[in-house]
Chain A
Amino acid sequence: MTEQRKAVALISGGLDSFLAARTVMDQGVHVEGINFYTGFCVEGHTHAIREKDRARPKRNNALWVAEQLGIRLHIVDIIEEYMDVVINPQHGYGTHLNPCLDCKVFMVNKAREWIVEHDFDFIITGEVVGQRPMSQRKHTMTMVARDSGAGDRLVRPLCAQNLPPTLPEQKGWLERDRMYGFSGRSRRPQMALAAKYGFEDYAQPAGGCCFLTDRQYSIKLEDLWKTRGRREYDLDDIMLLKVGRHLRPRADLKLIVGREEGENRFLEGYRRRFVHMLPASHVGPLVLLDGNTDTNAIELAARLTARFSKGRDAGQVTVEINDRDGNSRMLAVRPMPADEIPADWYL
């Protein structure tokens, strides 16, 4: 009897990872999924936080794809190790702070460690030659295979026919003819294949799989590094960059302003870590102060807090100011008029 071959598929939750895994399953290979959580994944968070998103059905796309495939999914926390990828990418960044090439090498290497530990035979990704400008050119695909250490145990079923035969093909575990030769940016071949499998309602992330491809998010992360004078972050930092309006009225002061109830509730969880304020005389947002909290900073922040409250047009708004130890006091201020807030305060 021939030995049952086993592969692990990198499942991002998009269409390509579904199709890649499915193509290999159709050849009789036992497939399980792996999904890496970097802290920047678009998955879940903001949906869970923002009230207006709660009505929408919320799902973890990677889990959903695994369920459609009928396979197990292992979600791996790589938050700590991933920091070095974001902070010191050897191959630099894409359009924003997305270190896609280093990220791919890192994840495939993690998958390689996983298959060694779990006695699996090879790794599957949904990459397509030429689909993304930086990380999916032909020579970078060869580089990812080499630098990750996966070598010819890395199979890209959607474009396998454009690449040299991998070990599973050489050993006869996979037939090259039953894989594909997709290339370029067109999504049509994938969509046609999805239709063949009756796979609908899949997630279609616009830029990429994570917040690092988002311009606004990258600006906020750069700002965090610049003002701290160090390129570093922790999980709370990068979560907070996803939430609220961020304003920097002074080099040494940043405000995080909740935009609605869900965000206010989330920010409340940080009240022991930041001086925070909220309007007492009117309905309004919870605001965290990151940086200097001298008298001038407090007054400036209170006037901005008043500006984002229902009392924005009132002559005076009373703002409750809370320190990290839970002591609070009141301050009455005149809300800052909109035209006194320079556009470049908004991050």
Chain B
Amino acid sequence: MNTATIDARHLLCPLPVIRTQDAVADCRPGDHLQVVCTDPGVVHDIPAWCRVHGHEVYAIERSDNEIMIGIQVGEAD
């Protein structure tokens, strides 16, 4: 299992979702992806994108003005 981090700070939705989507395309099932963002909209949009594509959000952590969303990549079909 690999873990990758994506810097999506200062990007506004849907760009963080698009960056996540591009990164997931290079992952294997079970890999972890950590997306670091500043737009509060990501707490809705990234989990929604994960739900429709079958990936699991295992963490949403907020610190000063930053949000980290942890994703476990699902099975490709």
Mark A residues whose CB is within 8 Å of B: 35, 37, 41, 43-45, 47-49, 54, 57-60, 63-64, 66-67, 70-77, 239, 269
Seed contacts A37-B18, A75-B17; 10 additional CB < 8 Å A-B pairs: A37-B15, A44-B14, A44-B41, A48-B39, A58-B44, A60-B14, A60-B45, A66-B52, A67-B48, A71-B52
What is the bound-complex CA distance between A37 and B18, given in angstroms? 9
Interface centre among B14, B15, B18 (most CB of A within 10 A): B14
CB distance from B67 to the nearest CB of A (A): 12
For A64, give the chain B residue with the smallest CB separation.
Answer: B48
Counting CB contacts under 8 A, is B28 at the interface?
no
Is B51 an interface residue, CB under 8 A from the partner?
yes
How many residues on chain B are close to A (CB under 8 Å)?
18
Task: Give the residue among A35, A70, A73, A75 with the most B Cβ atoms within 10 A.
Answer: A75
B45 (CB) vs chain A CBs: closest residue = A60
Give the secondary structure class of B's interface.
helix
Interface membership of B21, Cβ < 8 A: yes
Contact A63 B41, beta carbon cutoff 8 Å: no
List 28 A-B pairs, Cβ < 8 Å. A41-B14, A43-B13, A43-B14, A44-B12, A44-B39, A44-B45, A45-B12, A48-B12, A48-B40, A58-B44, A59-B45, A59-B48, A60-B13, A60-B14, A60-B17, A60-B44, A60-B45, A63-B17, A63-B52, A64-B48, A66-B52, A67-B52, A72-B52, A73-B52, A74-B21, A75-B18, A77-B15, A77-B18
Closest to A66 in B: B52
Within the complex, what minimum Cβ distance (angstroms) separates A243 from chain B? Answer: 10
